[in-house]
Amino acid sequence: MKTRPKEDYEPRNIILNLRVNKEEAEWIEQKFQNSGMKSKSDFIRMMIFQGQIIKVSDNFVRDFRRKYTSVSNNINQIALRLNASGNIYAEDIAEIKNGVNVIWQQLKYFQSLLLRVKPSPTLEVLQRPKTED
């Protein structure tokens, strides 16, 4: 969750109790553990207000980061050669295009996964009443 600006902060001092059976408690705990979130309160709040939490596989992120870093390094090396020699070669351009295509394909795949998620109804964000200072 994003951090709110300090002036918008309102302490959360109201406790809500929720009764569930053992099976539901285990299900909630499993979902919380799989979410990767640190706070169960934040997890439950997000589930109530936003309806879903999407956890991206660490392997997917690691693979994407590796590919992105590889392409970035190649582009930097080509830029250094270009600055040193003043020449750019067709192979360099092809290498950049190929690297960008690899990243693009990865992003398209990720987008296709996100598009399969059914959106849940969203609540309008409740605004705090404005007070005159």
**What does the angle CA 21 – CA 26 – CA 28 come to, to the nearest 5 degrees?**
95
Range of the domain at 67: 58-116
Residues 38 and 68 in one domain: no
pTM: 0.49
Residues 42 and 62 in one domain: no
Q: Does 29 map to a domain?
A: yes
> Which tens digits make up the pLDDT trace of 100-126?
998 999 889 888 888 887 665 544 444
Confidence of residue 129 (pLDDT cuts 50, 70, 90): very low
> Which tens digits make up the pLDDT trace of 51-100?
766 777 888 889 889 989 999 999 999 999 999 998 888 998 899 999 99
> In the numeric block, which tokens belong to residue 64?
């994407």
Q: How far apart are the first and last CA of the chain?
A: 29
pLDDT over threshold 80, residue 42: yes
Residues 32 and 76 in one domain: no
Residue pair 51/122 in contact by the 8 Å Cβ criterion: yes
Q: Does 14 map to a domain?
A: yes
The count of structural domains within the chain is 2
Residues 92 and 111 in one domain: yes
